[in-house]
Amino acid sequence: MSSLLQISSRVVQKSARLHSWKPCLDRRSLFDCLGPCETAGNQSQVRRISTRPSRRGREKRSRAPKLHVVRFKLTQEDAVRSLTQHEQDRWMAPLPSEVSGTTSTALVAWQPDSGGVRAVFLPFRVVNAVVSAKYTGQVGYARTKVVTSSDGKQTTQTKTDYFWVRGSLDRIHLDGKGGDSAMQIYADFRYPEALLEAVKGRVVASASPFDASALNIKEEPALDPFRITVEGTREEAQVRMETALTNLAEQEMRHTHPGCTQVARTTIGSVRVEEYHVQSVYLPAYVFTARYGQRLLKRFVGGATGKVSGEQMYSEVKAAVLGLGVGLAGSFLASDMAALPVLAGPAAFAVAAAASLAGLLVARCLPLFRNWWFARAADNRASQHASAGSGSPSWEQSIVARHTSSMFGREETVSQADPEQETPLVSTTASQGVQRSQLVITDPRAQPHLSVLGLDLGCCFGRAQEAFRRQAMKLHPDHNPGASPEEREAMASKLRAVLTAYRELCSIVAELSRQVQLLVSDSTPRPDFKLLGVRLSSC
């Protein structure tokens, strides 16, 4: 009887447990319905059954950053007026290297009929970071005392006592909005500083989300902000962060130690980037093309601020010219005071004024002459690259020398000394190079590599070298400054193919040349070089 009661109680408990699970099967997971009496094994089994994602996980899913576009606030007439005023105020020509900024990745929004100005949106990135760091440094307190010597004279001596100071900077916002630091961290450094003032601390306020209406074009282009060419890296942004933190640490030390006269040896350590947000922004700009001497240089006028950028004033040249004028005026004034009859009275000032104007004219022409000299030097370098037999080896010849030195075991060097004083090793190497250039390639393995160079099977290795130099010079980016980004990429891929083909060709010729040298060094009669896939000929 007792056994029947135990069996009936177990059945009742199982039925009650089954009925307690039924309401949970519709709304919640099985793991939520388990009581505290369930074992860990049952919990693990129920965890594997429940695969429904939680709503909290979907809310934490990261979203793609929005593109922002700073709107144009200036018309084309305002930009032309601003550029005209700026060009009238300046009197120095810029260097070609000072033209910072490029429109190769810019999105052109409007092209006028004149062709002299373009309204573009320049891709750019702004970094808003929250960082913390620790700093160490020295604060100095100056002490002044009066020392009386044995003869009764009093002298004042100043001495500075330094003390080590440590501290920390917690959650410093580097967003350019003031507060902790007004420094804005940029991820791009290719644009002028004056052009970037439109986004300093006002990115979200002055920028609108990226769409077709913001650019005033018919269709919205598919742009990925992380595929745009960015010259600045996170390491460079980290350097700018450390610079801002150093300035803040010095301000903090002066504030916490009133009365200190100097702050020295400030070191930033334990930098922690707690937040790092990157915003992709498009800056409005008018791009003008101006001619200075023989150079076409670009000028940027910010479409939001109206500031002109793209050049740098020559303050050092201007100061030198003004110093020359002042020196001439002083010398003429001294000669007038010495009562010299040649430059006396108003004539001295007239000569000084003429000399100053001549100095200003020379200073105005110096940058133009410098631009012309740089252009001439660039043309000379290009002609040196084009000439294969020049005295100074070109970059193509350097590549050939490196490859042949690794292939043949020695480097071919061209002696600049007297041929009578040439060492036997150099003469032997030169003769081997001449023999190698006369080798006619008939090996079938070289057929695909010769076709890349535009040659057929049966040509000599010297012609292959000339073809390689010609192709490399034609495809090198230094000789194609006006090529578009697509053309540059195509030329780069073709240049890599040419280099690969020439490298493989050098390895084949090196192998055949070693076989020829081994056979020639024997005392046996001259072998048939056609069997080796190579023969000697005069190209």
pLDDT digits (tens, 9 = 90+) for 325-369: 666 666 666 666 655 555 555 666 666 666 666 666 666 666 566
E strands, 330-448, are 439-441
Taking the C-alpha atoms of residue 298 and residue 257, their distance in angstroms, rounded to an integer, is 49
* Higher local confidence (pLDDT), 136 or 537: 136
Has residue 127 got a pLDDT over 50? yes
CA-CA distance, 30 to 21, in Å (whole number)? 8
Residue 345 backbone dihedrals phi, psi, to 5 degrees: 70, -140
- Going by pLDDT thresholds of 50, 70 and 90, the confidence category of residue 151 is confident
Q: Which residue has the higher pLDDT, 486 or 249?
A: 249
What average pLDDT does this structure show over 225-242? 56
Backbone angles phi, psi at 515, to 5 degrees: -65, -40
User: At residue 53, does pLDDT exceed 80?
Assistant: no
Tell me which amino acid residue 95 is: L
Express each pLDDT in 166-189 by its tens digit: 999 888 887 766 555 556 666 555
Cα(405)–Cα(423) distance, integer angstroms: 19
In tens, the pLDDT along 463-485 reads 888 788 778 777 777 667 677 77
Is the separation of the CB atoms in 95 and 310 below 8 Å?
A: no
Of 100-114, 302-316, 334-348, which gets the smallest average pLDDT? 100-114
Select from 243, 222, 230, 155 the least CA-distant residue to 187: 230
pLDDT-based confidence at 155, cuts 50/70/90? confident
Q: What are phi and psi of 6, to 5 degrees?
A: -65, -40
Residue with tokens 């576009």: 69
User: Would you state the pLDDT for residue 362?
Assistant: 67
Which of 25-29, 83-87, 249-253, 533-537 is predicted least confidently? Answer: 25-29
315: its two tokens: 């303050």
Residue of 302, 366, 305, 367 whose CA lies nearest to 97: 367
Position 410 confidence tier, pLDDT thresholds 50, 70, 90? very low
Taking 50 as the threshold, does the pLDDT of residue 16 lie above it?
no
pLDDT of residue 137: 92
Name the CA dihedral angle for 435, 440, 443, 444, rounded to a multiple of 10 degrees. 150
* Of the candidate ranges 52-61, 251-260, 283-292, 308-317, the one whose mean pLDDT is the lowest: 52-61
User: Predicted confidence band at 490 (pLDDT cuts at 50, 70, 90)?
Assistant: confident
Q: Which residues pair with 138 in a beta bridge?
A: 164, 264
> What's the average model confidence in pLDDT over 8-26?
44
pLDDT at 135: 92
Query: Which span out of 250-259, 279-288, 328-337, 387-396 was modeled with the highest average pLDDT?
Result: 250-259
d(CA 413, CA 246) in angstroms, rounded, equals 52
d(CA 368, CA 84): 20
CB-CB contact of 495 with 472 (8 Å)? yes
CB–CB of 433/412 below 8 Å? yes
Residue 525, pLDDT > 80, answer no
Residues whose CB is less than 8 angstroms from the CB of residue 304 and which lie 6 or more positions away in sequence, other chains included = 70, 71, 72, 73, 74, 198, 206, 283, 284
On the question of pLDDT at 95 being above 50, the answer is: no
Phi and psi of 458, rounded to 5°?
Answer: 110, 0
**Residue 24: pLDDT over 50:** no
Left (φ > 0), alpha (ψ -120 to 50) or beta: where does 6 sit? alpha
Q: Strand 154-174 to strand 117-148: parallel, antiparallel, or no bridges (unpaired)?
A: antiparallel
User: For the chain, what are the domain ranges?
Assistant: 2-52, 67-148+155-313, 317-384, 387-536
Q: What value does the mean pLDDT of the chain take?
A: 63
